[in-house]
Structure 1
Amino acid sequence: MKTRSERHLLNDTTLAVVGCQWGDEGKGKISDFLAGQVDVVVRYNGGPNAGHTIVVENETFKLHHLPCGVLYPGKINILGNGMVLDALTLEDELAGLKRRGIIVQKLFISDRAHLILPYHRRQDSLEEEKRGSAKIGTTLRGIGPAYQDKIARRGIRAGELRDAQRLKEKIAAFLSEKNELFARYYSAETMTMPEIEEGYLPAAYRLLPYIADTALLLAGHLERGEKVLFEGAQGAMLDIDYGTYPYVTSSGTMTGSVCSGAGIPPGKVGTILGVGKAYTTRVGAGPFPTEIEGKTAEYIRERGREFGTTTGRPRRIGWLDGVALRQACRLNGVQHLALTLFDVLGGVGSIKIATAYRCRDGSVTEHFPADQHILEEITPIYREFAGWDEDISRCGNINDLPRAALDYIKGVEETAGAPVSLLSVGPRRDQTIWRL
């Protein structure tokens, strides 16, 4: 039976879960927590650069392509047209679940989703190497080059797997262009068509039973009044337009991408739940105004297990950037916030939230600048809060939390301009507190 809080948050037919920082906010845990109350779970952006870690009864699952609904028997799971898919990685992901006794049956892949080909991975690696000290810090999984080809109208869509001969002809033509790029610009080895035909296409063809017009399927589910959860990847500060450009991902990460990436009209986006950590992290290069180093950063990194799910890289650590969070809530139209990894802050001592920035010329702004050079020169203006030493990972009710923790939550709400309705105090499903 649903609690009153669950009924309130899931009152609309659809619920969009979006990241409000630089990714790694715990969207997977929150989406998984809510997925038991919906009928359909949809991924609508990104690809295997996502790394959603979910703990179910002390078992840890790390999902890259797949929506969290695969961990619930009977749920319908959709990979939307806004995604880019690596057939080899997706097949490995499905096989890994099967080895653990989870058979994914109700999976549908949009025939409009683009494929990541082996030459995209090669291009990604060569581009990063060429950038030298100005590296973006990509996951090297071919995401950016696949989206490049999509926009340049030379991509391969999943639906094209239905016509093997035409598909091979298109790939051969595109491979010729890529090889010219590899040889002439990067002075690198070229790739052969047999490499793709033998090493990649068999896995891609095995995805054929899952391929469908998912926008049409979704329309049917919505017409029948079924509950749909849209599970976002990455975060607002990595959005191609509103993130810390050029240190961003290659897809839209905002609520608006639910419509274009899943194939639903704007009026069908119901409740919008933003997810943010109780502090801030970032992987890879790029501006990070509230970044901290030293013992406090190491303490948070170890307690929060702050190492990339996809890359394994240690994440950069910072205090909660309220300026960035406020912008993310405004741009996404966030109605509720889920605050994650709250338990990690226990024992840190005093805690800070950046509420504004002081610019190099002495002026103060409460808004997030678009110019990365300005971001690199600003100084955060902090509001400081008393910390707590209690272990809150066993708290099951908001009233069980220490006074200092409640004060911090109130400070987050005042800064972000949105209510904290869910609180995560540990990785498991049962370590989640409703606050509505």
Structure 2
Amino acid sequence: MATKSRGDSQVCGENGNSSDSPRKRPRGVTSAAKATVVLGAQWGDEGKGKVVDMLATEANIVCRCQGGNNAGHTVVVDGSEFDFHLVPSGIVNPECKSVIGNGVVIHLPGLFDELKACEKKGLTDWKDRLLISDRAHLVFDLHQSVDGLQEAEKGTQSLGTTKKGIGPAYSSKATRNGLRICDLLGDFDQFTNRYKTLVANYGRMFPALKVDVESELKRYKEYAEIIRPLVVESVSYICNALKDGKKVLVEGANAAMLDIDFGTYPYVTSSNCSIGGVCTGLGLPPSSIGDIIGVVKAYTTRVGDGPFPTEQINEIGQSLQTRGHEIGVTTKRVRRCGWLDIQVLLFTSIVNGYTALCLTKLDILDTFKTIKIGVSYLDSNGKRLTYFPASTAELAKVQVEYMELPGWEQDISNVRSWDDLPQNAKKYVETIEDLLNVPVKWIGVGKGRESIIQLY
């Protein structure tokens, strides 16, 4: 008795078993490519943009999956410095498409300002390569105003947000009164009614909020026609690209310790900037994700308030800040600095499942005679913690146990191979690998893409 391939009806014998004919390969089953993901492993500002820029030279598509223009990535190409906030860093590759995914919240005025700045630096062909998800939510100026009003209400308990409206926009998304790109491109009368409802809702909560509704609607009607050629149904677009064997690179914004679920809450951003945000922010199933690259600064920094166990409020911290030019791309605030924290990295590695690391800004440690690594936390009774604290109050009280290593005290900014690194620099890298049990594949020793050493 014959059998048919899956997808057709199958004829079985009286006992319910199919015949002994060899089973055919199910139709439609293919071996698709897998996306490579780049994620920040600390509190942000690790140098993800540079890593994405490097990997994008071989990618067909680079995607942003979450966050908004609160993120800032700096890329240096041929001496020109680009600051990206919404646009994926891969946009500098003329052979690469850049996708702003559904999980991103988009402030259109900010996006156009960013693109104009890129044009002034020679990036004039972005219209041919930038794509925007029709499911992405919009950040309005009113969201930015509300962001500032909410921060002012908190007073001394302010979270130190960028006031870019990201939190309020995600709040609108969660309460289901937000507006998406597809709404803007659809029936504009419906868009108008929903926008007025959004304004009224916020107006009841914040009487001081002032919005010129008619002016905003006029502006967004013009925006709709500008972005219409760029908008795509991104879920099927990326899925089909992987099926066709295209190389897809995902650029995470912010970092794991700013993740709204796993970061130092409430001193976090408003999105999932760990691996889960990649799936929900692009519509990718976990099975389509391949390498997960954690970007780790050779020391630790964070912007704004919140606990920071290895922070150095002394000459060491000042030296790291000065040598590393630690000023926020978006906020322009000076970053707090401290030694590398292995407990942070172990925790984010659990959450993200790094397959490899890129260690950036190793050259900033060039002048130190000795270098410390925070390896474990002790509670107030001197007992070693076996977990990363969820409570910021508990994290703020931990004592850090340090490992001390000899520095190399020489300039490594022009080194381009592993063999040419000083022995003590190699020891530092190998110690990190041993402590995390994750291989370091790249080492950054300078600003440009040429300043990255590939180990294997």
Structure 1 match to 2:244:
224
Secondary structure class of the residue paired with 1:62? strand
Matching of residue 167 in structure 1 with residue 228 in structure 2: no
Measured after TM superposition, the shift of residue 308 of structure 1 is: 0.2
Q: Residue type of the partner of 2:234?
A: T
For residues 204 and 342 of structure 1, the distance between their equivalents in structure 2, rounded to whole angstroms, comes to 45
Measure, in 1, the Cα distance between the counterparts of 2:61 and 2:294. 19
Q: In the TM superposition, what are the counterparts of 1:316-335 in structure 2 within 5 Å? A: 316-335=336-355
Question: Identical aligned pairs, as a percentage?
Answer: 40
CA distance, structure 2, for counterparts of residue 57 and residue 247 of structure 1: 36
Contact 2:33–2:244, Cα closer than 8 Å, also in 1: no
Unaligned runs of 5+ in 2: 1-31
RMSD between superposed Cα atoms in Å: 1.3
Contact 1:254–1:332 (Cα < 8 Å) also in 2: yes
Q: Given that residues 88 and 200 in structure 1 are in contact (C-alpha distance below 8 angstroms), is that contact kept between their aligned partners in structure 2?
A: no
TM-superposed deviation, 1:342? 0.6
CA contact 2:80–2:121 (8 Å) conserved in 1: no
Residue of structure 1 aligned with 2:269, choices 249, 260, 263: 249
Whether 1:25 and 2:46 are equivalent positions in the alignment is: yes
| Alignment-derived partner of residue 116 in structure 1 | 139
Instruction: Indicate the residue corresponding to 2:108 in structure 1.
Output: 87
In the other structure, the counterpart of 1:8 is none
Contact 1:323 1:366 in 2 (8 A): no
Q: CA deviation at 1:146?
A: 0.3
1:252 deviation in Å?
0.3
Asked if the contact 2:33–2:242 (Cα under 8 Å) also holds between the matched residues in 1, the reply is no
Query: Where does residue 29 of structure 2 map in the other structure?
Result: none
Q: Which residue of 1 aligns with 2:429?
A: 409
Cα displacement (A) at 1:408: 0.6
Structure 2 equivalent of residue 63 of structure 1: 84
Whether 1:315 aligns to 2:335 is yes
Pick which of 224-233 and 66-75 moved more: 66-75
TM-score, reference length from structure 1:
0.95
Question: 337-346 or 365-374: which moved more?
Answer: 365-374
User: What letter matches 1:51 in structure 2?
Assistant: G
- The 5-angstrom pairing of residues 101-112 of structure 1 reads 101-102=122-123, 103-104=125-126, 105-112=128-135
How many pairs are equivalent?
Answer: 422
Do structure 1's residue 153 and structure 2's residue 176 form an aligned pair?
yes
The alignment partner of 1:364 has SS state of: coil
Counterpart code for 2:144:
R
Q: Is the 8 A contact 1:161 1:205 kept in 2?
A: no
Q: How does 1:185-334 map to 2 (within 5 A)?
A: 188-199=208-219, 201-334=221-354
C-alpha separation between the residues in 2 aligned to 1:126 and 1:79?
A: 28
What is the deviation of 1:259? Answer: 1.1
Counterpart amino acid of residue 139 in structure 2: I
Worse-superposed segment, 412-421 or 283-292: 412-421
Task: Give the AA of the match of 1:13.
Answer: K
1:130 paired residue number:
153
Q: Is the 8 A contact 2:33 2:243 kept in 1?
A: no
Contact 1:357 1:364 (8 Å CA) reproduced: yes
Instruction: Identify the residue that residue 73 of structure 1 maps to in structure 2.
Output: 94
Q: Which has the greater radius of gyration?
A: 2
Q: Residues 103-139 of structure 1, C-alpha deviation per residue, up to 9 Å, x if partnerless? A: 2012111111000011100110011111111111110
1:100 shift after superposition: 2.2
Contact 1:109–1:211 (CA<8 Å) still a contact in 2? yes
Consecutive unaligned residues in structure 1, runs of 5 or more: 1-10
Q: Which moved more, 1:36-45 or 1:412-421?
A: 412-421
SS for the counterpart of 2:43 is: coil
Question: Cα–Cα, structure 1 residues 12 and 393, in superposed 2: closer, same or farther, change >3 Å?
Answer: farther
Alignment-mate amino acid for residue 182 of structure 1:
F
Give runs of ≥4 in structure 1 deviating > 4 Å.
Answer: 198-201
Deviation readout 1:345-391 (Å, 9 max, x if unpaired): 00022111111111112211143110111011111111111111111
- TM-score with structure 2 length normalisation? 0.90
- Kindly indicate whether the alpha-carbon contact (under 8 Å) linking 2:146 and 2:209 is maintained by their aligned counterparts in 1: no
Residues 216, 12 of structure 1: CA spacing in aligned structure 2 closer, same or farther, 3 A cutoff?
closer
Structure 2 CA distance for aligned equivalents of residues 124 and 200 of structure 1: 21
CA 189–175 in structure 1, closer or farther in 2 if over 3 Å, else same = closer
| Cα offsets for 1:394-429 (capped at 9, x unmatched) | 111001111111111111112222111110000101
1:101 match: secondary structure: coil
Q: Say whether the 8 Å CA contact 1:120–1:142 is kept in structure 2.
A: yes
Q: Secondary structure of 1:246's partner?
A: coil
Letter in 1 for 2:199: L
Q: Are the aligned partners of 2:74 and 2:329 in contact in 1 as well (CA < 8 Å)?
A: yes
SS in 2 for 1:17: strand
How far apart, in 2, do the equivalents of 1:97 and 1:182 lie? 36
What's the CA shift for 1:306?
Answer: 0.4
Superposed displacement of residue 197, structure 1: 2.2
Note if contact 1:121-1:140 (Cα within 8 Å) is conserved in structure 2.
Answer: yes
Are 2:373 and 1:353 equivalent residues in the alignment? Answer: yes
Indicate the residue corresponding to 1:4 in structure 2: none
- The C-alpha deviation readout for 1:307-355, integer Å capped at 9, x for no partner, is 0000100000010010001111121010100000110000022111111
1:205 positional shift: 4.3
